[in-house]
């Protein structure tokens, strides 16, 4: 466009002409509605181009602009038939900022612009409502003073303060009770405040009001809050904002006026019926405020009943009004259809009827429940309003969480039975008896397999997992959304509430005080993990099922991904049970099986003893050697059986098994517990031996102490320093794989090394894996193909990914740890200490453990991918951090070229839909590793480049060493 478009009338002639970048979001939407022929109040837009020119050239340019604006006001006057600044039913306008991307922090809105001391009286005359007129005027002065003149005031001398005082003086509680005179006084005090603070009087000339407001909007583009918002959201600083100037319409003008809101379909369940409410002689905000009870839309057919006071008073007039409303309802219903056809989405519409004339003020995508979202998406497809892709995109993946967990039967009213609230940490509802100790939870379930238990504690730790696994839900008094309890519970798909600080647990006497009440172990409670509610007693639950529309949606999503080189979804699962759940949820493999989780519960004792032996600083004596080998054998058997179960459940799909990861001290009992056990042993026969053992355990525990265990001896460092457990695990994996293969299953193990940061580590462990695999294969005569790979979870690993890819056939991003180290934030500590504060204060846009920090941590991932594939073009890439189930992170994973995401089984459906969204939004080439038919068949097609780098010694030769 050669000529600058500075101001732009929204009318039929103009439609189609300009885009969002010029008109801003609000202006563009107005234009679209106009294009659809909808009755929108008349308006014009001062474009972003004008804003940009102003920010560059300042006041000098504004002079030019002024002329154009005045010209456009004249057009507005012509179209509305009203005059700006006249004393006879004057033209009033709203002034709104409207950037191309919606942006809080900028100057927002001035309503009722055009009023002044004189014509407020005339408005009073026209509307025969002085209270209304002065209320309008004070609103204008307030907004104009606040946003155009930046008047804030101090103490009681603020806009709000003045209204408060007025209420006090009038001895009323609500603004609605203030009279015309009260508002007149308020107007006067507002004007005084503005003069005092800004040094100028509120201009009486509407044109002046308008020009000042427009300039203020332009200036607000560069205020601190707006700049910060843009910085945090990566919005281009040079875009500028548009300003929308629009005729005001009043739903409270007279009895033939009304305001309302409506959804084109039921936002609760998705049913196809226009669903709305309205209030006669009211403004939009009154409908929402809930002071008067709104009427249902259907009642517009007959607003004034024959037996109503008004009807009786002036039958003719109200009959006419009734007819007008009825016609308007018809008109509106047909508009709803039009809008749905145009937007191909359920709409949320604001409308106003001014003296019988119908106006659409706004239409936008309607909020809805997950259930409604799925139904609407499918219905619209059936109605041929949308195609499959559009229907998929209509469903917000994150919302689906609602459909994947038990909920309290919505027919039950329970809010009066809520005991307390905590932080919602894992969604869904659970019912059970209170138990304060994980061991007793396990016992309760052992004694009665149908027992329903809620584990209630201050916090949880890794060796409570058996108890968490046996419980129906978890409730803790401390922690945050990323505390151990929260993370594990989400992994298990169990409802969990944390940081419920009103709980005062008396562990000794097995009871809990909360907000005055007291509950004993064994008392029934219900917890609602999506809302953080703890409710007294046993409420009826409804169990989730993936059926009907939801099932179809998931299938379509998978199809879309397949057809468009999208991601596929695996699950993080550590047990055969989890694996079956994963498959049920549609996982196409396991992306992370944490072998150490198999060491928890009853097996910890054994593991603890093993640790004492393998880390003994001096040589083992004969007895100890025997004991060590017997423990290893026992654990081997246990893990072997675990893997058999997992491989069978995952028949035909890849299973990524991560070797032991956490620091060893996590398997030893806590100091406190050791103390107790020593105390106990004193009173037992033969206790001396036990005490000695416990004391050496305590000593070793102390030796394992680390200032920063997160950065310590764990992951592959452990596997290299004390290789026994690794060796046992590798043997168990291959023995199980061979066994399962020989039973006719298809098995695709992928062995994954945690916490690597150098290629030397991977080389040592790759040799270990190959060696043990060959031994098992030689012994059994069966070969199983497998992959060797690594987590990328230390920043350095990303930076030397080209080296790591010499050994690793796949990378799986451990974004939890990568975030901890890359961001320098300890997940276990940070939430309370500063992270929540940071998010509240907008220092961080999001908790980076909830949504992947694309700018920082994401960059590390991109570096890893670029370097890794430079060595090995068919490197297989996935993610197994918690972010793998978070929709915005899933989309990012698609963008950077991962092959799959892996998340906890209960988030698999969410990830499947999110992956489809990503595939639809961004075309991409297929990841090289995924080109082969089966992902698990990739094995050993090592690129030529790698070959030249590392000519592997043959297994035989290695074995000899």
Which residues are known catalytic residues?
A: 484, 880
Nearer to a copy of itself, 164 or 222 (CB): 222
C-alpha neighbours within 13 Å on the C-beta side of residue 872: 29
Is 200 a binding residue for a copy of itself by CB under 8 A? The answer is: no
Helix pair angle (48-57, 59-80), 10° resolution: 150
Residue with Cβ nearer a copy of itself (26 or 230): 230
Among 89, 828, 850, 866, binds a copy of itself (CB under 8 A): 828
Which residue shows structure tokens 């509106």?
Answer: 332
Q: Are 767 and 956 in contact (CB under 8 A)?
A: no
Least Å distance, CB 655 to a copy of itself, is 26
Nearer of residues 796 and 924 to a copy of itself, judged by Cβ: 796
943 binds a copy of itself (CB under 8 A): no
Comparing CA positions, the residue from 589, 429, 579, 648 lying closest to residue 912 is 589
CB of 482 to a copy of itself, least distance (A): 12
Based on the shown chain and the rule CB under 8 A, indicate whether residue 713 belongs to the binding site for a copy of itself: yes
Nearest CB to a copy of itself, comparing residues 56 and 365: 56
Question: How many residues in the shown chain lie near a copy of itself by CB under 8 A?
Answer: 64
The footprint of a copy of itself on residues 163-192 (CB under 8 A) is none
CB of 856 to a copy of itself, least distance (A): 4
C-beta of 61: minimal distance to a copy of itself in Å? 18
503-506 sheet: strands from edge to edge: 503-506, 511-514, 517-520
- Our CB check for a copy of itself shows the closer of 193 and 258 to be 193
With CB under 8 A as the contact rule, which of the stretches 89-97, 336-344, 835-843, 924-932 interacts with a copy of itself?
A: 835-843
Q: Which residues contact 668 (CB under 8 A, 6 or more apart)?
A: 608, 611, 697, 700, 701, 704
Exposure string over 306-342, b if 16+ CB within 10 A, otherwise e: eeeeebeeeeeebeebbebbeebbeebeebbeebbeb
Nearer to a copy of itself, 175 or 829 (CB): 829
Member of 81, 708, 744, 781 binding a copy of itself (CB under 8 A): 708
- Give the integer Cα–Cα distance in Å for 783 and 789: 19
Determine if 486 is a binding residue for a copy of itself (CB under 8 A): no
Question: How far, rounded to the nearest angstrom, does the alpha carbon of residue 365 sit from its chain's CA centroid?
Answer: 19
Q: Identify the residue among 493, 529, 654, 795 touching a copy of itself (CB under 8 A).
A: 795
Q: Could you say which DSSP state residue 148 is in?
A: I
> Which residue, 167 or 478, has its beta carbon nearer to a copy of itself?
478
Are the C-beta atoms of 475 and 455 separated by less than 8 Å?
yes
Q: Which helix (H) or strand (E) holds 67?
A: helix 59-80
**Which tokens in the block code for residue 389?**
């892709």
Q: Quick count: other Cβ atoms within 10 Å of Cβ 843?
A: 12
| Residue where the block lists tokens 């994963």 | 582
Count the neighbouring beta carbons within 10 Å of the beta carbon of residue 638. 16
Interacting span for a copy of itself (CB under 8 A) from 40-48, 297-305, 705-713, 876-884: 705-713
Nearest-approach distance from CB 848 to a copy of itself, in angstroms: 9
Q: What is the dihedral of CA 184, 187, 191, 194, to 10 degrees?
A: 160
Report if residue 837 touches a copy of itself, rule: CB under 8 A: yes
Which residue's CB is nearer to a copy of itself, number 238 or number 449?
238
Smallest separation, CB 792 to a copy of itself (Å): 11
Stretch that binds a copy of itself, among 210-218, 315-323, 572-580, 703-711 (CB under 8 A): 703-711
State which H helix or E strand residue 113 sits in. strand 109-113
Near a copy of itself by CB under 8 A: residue from 580, 641, 834, 942: 834
Angle value at C-alpha 603, between 597 and 604, nearest 5 degrees: 80
Taking the least distance from each CB to a copy of itself, the nearer of 129 and 793 is: 793
Which range in 130-138, 339-347, 714-722, 876-884 contacts a copy of itself by CB under 8 A?
Answer: 714-722
Q: Does 755 bind a copy of itself (CB under 8 A)?
A: yes
What is the spatial distance between Cα 783 and Cα 777, in angstroms, rounded to a whole number? Answer: 5
Binder to a copy of itself among 164, 181, 204, 228 (CB under 8 A)?
A: 228
Helix and strand numbers (H, E) in the chain are 36, 31
Neighbours of 216 (CB within 10 A): 21
Interface with a copy of itself in residues 652-691 (CB under 8 A):
none
Whose Cβ is closer to a copy of itself: residue 163's or residue 668's?
668
Regarding 860 and contact with a copy of itself (CB under 8 A), the answer is: yes
Task: Report the distance separating Cα 821 and Cα 946, nearest Å.
Answer: 29
Contact characters 620-659, a copy of itself, x per CB under 8 A: ----------------------------------------
Given the structure tokens 């869904």, which residue do they identify? 428
Stretch that binds a copy of itself, among 383-391, 757-765, 881-889, 925-933 (CB under 8 A): 757-765
Q: Which of 139, 167, 227, 924 binds a copy of itself (CB under 8 A)?
A: 227
Judged by CB under 8 A, the stretch of 159-167, 220-228, 407-415, 689-697 that binds a copy of itself is 220-228
- The DSSP code sequence of 782-803 is -----EEEEEE-SHHHHHTHHH
CA terminus-to-terminus distance, the chain: 76
Query: Using CB under 8 A, which residues numbered 808 to 827 contact a copy of itself?
Result: 817, 820-826
3-class SS shares of the chain: helix, strand, coil, % to 5:
50, 15, 35
Residue 865 near a copy of itself by CB under 8 A: no
Contact yes or no for 861/828 (Cβ under 8 A): no
Among 433, 456, 587, 794, binds a copy of itself (CB under 8 A): 794
Residue 948 interacts with a copy of itself (CB under 8 A): yes or no: yes
- Measure the CA dihedral 836/837/841/843, to 10°: -80
Q: Is 282 helix (H, G, I), strand (E, B) or coil?
A: coil
Pick from 235, 393, 636, 710: which binds a copy of itself (CB under 8 A)?
710
Between 451 and 710, whose beta carbon lies closer to a copy of itself?
710
Tell me the window of 395-403, 602-610, 737-745, 942-950 that interacts with a copy of itself (CB under 8 A): 942-950
Taking CA atoms, 359 is separated from 24, 93, 248, in Å, by 21, 15, 11
Tokens of 618: 């001096």
Which of 458, 949, 955, 959 is close enough to bind a copy of itself by CB under 8 A?
Answer: 949
Smallest separation, CB 752 to a copy of itself (Å): 17
The first and second tokens of residue 788, run together, are 């060797």
- DSSP per-residue string spanning 773-787: HHHHHHHHS-----E
- What are the residues binding a copy of itself (CB under 8 A)? 222, 224, 227-228, 231-232, 237-238, 706-713, 717, 720-721, 755, 757-761, 763-764, 793-796, 799-800, 803, 806, 817, 820-826, 828-830, 833-834, 837-838, 842-844, 853, 855-857, 859-860, 948-951, 953
């Amino acid at each position: 466009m050669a000529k600058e478009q500075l101001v732009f009338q929204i009318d039929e002639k103009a439609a189609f002409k300009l885009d969002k970048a010029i008109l801003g979001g609000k202006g563009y939407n107005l234009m679209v509605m106009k294009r659809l022929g909808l009755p929108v109040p008349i308006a014009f837009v001062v474009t972003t181009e004008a804003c940009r020119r102003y920010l560059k050239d300042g006041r000098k340019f504004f002079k030019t602009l002024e002329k154009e604006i005045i010209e456009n006001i004249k057009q507005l006057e012509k179209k509305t038939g009203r005059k700006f600044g006249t004393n006879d039913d004057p033209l009033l306008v709203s002034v709104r900022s409207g950037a191309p991307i919606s942006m809080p922090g900028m100057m927002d809105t001035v309503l009722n612009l055009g009023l002044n001391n004189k014509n407020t009286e005339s408005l009073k005359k026209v509307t025969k409502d002085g209270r209304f007129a002065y209320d309008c005027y004070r609103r204008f002065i307030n907004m104009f003073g606040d946003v155009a003149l930046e008047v804030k005031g101090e103490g009681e001398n603020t806009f709000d303060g003045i209204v408060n005082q007025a209420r006090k003086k009038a001895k009323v509680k609500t603004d609605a009770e203030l009279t015309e005179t009260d508002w007149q006084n308020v107007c006067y005090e507002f004007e005084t405040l503005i003069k005092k603070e800004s040094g100028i009087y509120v201009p009486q000339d509407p044109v002046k009001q308008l020009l000042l407001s427009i300039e203020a909007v332009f200036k607000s583009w560069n205020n601190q809050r707006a700049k910060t918002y843009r910085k945090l959201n990566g919005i281009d600083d040079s875009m500028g904002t548009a300003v929308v100037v629009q005729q005001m319409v009043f739903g409270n003008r007279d009895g033939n006026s009304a305001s309302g809101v409506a959804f084109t379909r039921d936002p609760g369940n998705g049913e196809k019926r226009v669903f709305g409410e309205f209030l006669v002689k009211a403004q939009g905000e009154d409908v929402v405020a809930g002071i008067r009870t709104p009427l249902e839309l259907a009642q517009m057919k007959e607003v004034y009943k024959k037996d109503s006071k008004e009807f009786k008073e002036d039958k003719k007039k109200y009959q006419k009004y009734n007819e007008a409303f009825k016609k308007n309802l018809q008109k509106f219903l047909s508009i709803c259809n039009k809008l749905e056809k145009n937007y191909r989405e359920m709409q949320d519409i604001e409308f106003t009827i001014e003296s019988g004339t119908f106006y659409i003020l706004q239409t936008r995508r309607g909020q809805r429940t997950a259930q409604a979202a799925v139904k609407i998406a499918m219905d619209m497809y059936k109605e041929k309003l949308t195609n499959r892709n559009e229907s998929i995109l209509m469903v917000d993946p994150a919302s689906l969480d609602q459909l994947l967990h038990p909920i309290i039967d919505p027919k039950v009213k329970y809010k009066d039975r809520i005991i307390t609230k905590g932080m919602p940490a894992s969604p869904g509802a659970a019912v059970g008896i209170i138990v304060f100790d994980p061991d007793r939870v396990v016992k309760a379930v052992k004694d009665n397999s149908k027992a329903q238990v809620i584990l209630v504690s201050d916090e949880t730790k890794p060796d409570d997992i058996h108890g968490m696994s046996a419980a129906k839900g978890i409730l803790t008094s401390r922690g945050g959304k990323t505390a151990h309890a929260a993370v594990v519970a989400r992994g298990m798909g169990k409802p969990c509430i944390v940081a419920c600080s009103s709980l005062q647990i008396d562990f000794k006497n097995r009871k809990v005080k909360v907000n005055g009440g007291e509950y004993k172990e064994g008392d029934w409670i219900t917890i609602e993990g999506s809302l953080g509610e703890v409710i007294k007693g046993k409420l009826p639950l409804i169990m989730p099922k993936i059926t009907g529309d939801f099932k179809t949606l998931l299938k379509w999503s998978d199809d879309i991904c397949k057809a468009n080189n999208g991601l596929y979804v695996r699950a993080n699962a550590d047990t055969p049970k989890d694996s079956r759940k994963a498959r049920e949820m549609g996982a196409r493999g396991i992306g992370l099986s944490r072998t150490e989780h198999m060491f928890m519960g009853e097996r910890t004792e054994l593991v603890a003893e093993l640790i004492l032996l393998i880390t003994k600083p001096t040589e083992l004596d004969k007895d100890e050697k025997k004991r060590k080998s017997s423990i290893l054998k026992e654990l081997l058997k246990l893990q072997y059986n675990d893997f058999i179960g997992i491989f069978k459940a995952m028949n035909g799909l890849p299973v990524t098994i991560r070797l032991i990861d956490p620091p060893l001290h996590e398997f030893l009992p806590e100091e406190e517990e050791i103390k107790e056990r020593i105390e106990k042993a004193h009173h037992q026969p033969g206790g001396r031996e036990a005490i000695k053992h416990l004391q050496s355990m305590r000593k070793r525990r102390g030796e394992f102490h680390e200032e920063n265990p997160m950065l310590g001896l764990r992951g592959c460092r452990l596997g290299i320093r004390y290789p026994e457990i690794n060796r046992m695990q590798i043997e168990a994996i291959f023995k199980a794989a061979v066994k399962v293969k020989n039973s006719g299953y298809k098995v695709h193990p992928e062995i994954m090394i945690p916490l690597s940061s150098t290629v030397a580590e991977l080389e040592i462990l790759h040799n270990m894996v190959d060696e043990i695999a060959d031994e098992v294969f030689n012994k059994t005569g069966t070969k199983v193909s497998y992959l060797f790979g690594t987590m990328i979870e230390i920043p350095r690993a990303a930076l030397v990914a080209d080296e790591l890819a010499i050994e690793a056939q796949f990378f799986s991003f451990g974004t939890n740890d990568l975030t901890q180290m890359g961001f320098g934030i300890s997940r276990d500590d940070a939430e309370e200490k500063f992270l929540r504060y940071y998010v509240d204060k907008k220092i961080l846009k999001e908790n980076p453990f909830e949504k992947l920090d694309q700018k920082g941590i994401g960059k590390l991932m991109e570096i890893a991918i670029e370097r890794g594939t430079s060595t090995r073009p068919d490197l297989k890439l996935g993610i197994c951090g918690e972010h793998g189930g978070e929709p915005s992170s899933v989309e990012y994973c698609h963008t950077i070229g991962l092959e799959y995401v892996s998340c906890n089984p209960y988030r698999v459906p969410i990830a499947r839909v999110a992956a489809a969204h990503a595939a639809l939004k961004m075309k991409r080439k297929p990841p090289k590793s995924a080109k082969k038919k089966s992902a698990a068949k990739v094995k050993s097609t090592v690129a030529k480049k790698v070959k030249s780098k590392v000519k592997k010694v043959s297994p035989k030769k290695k074995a000899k060493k």
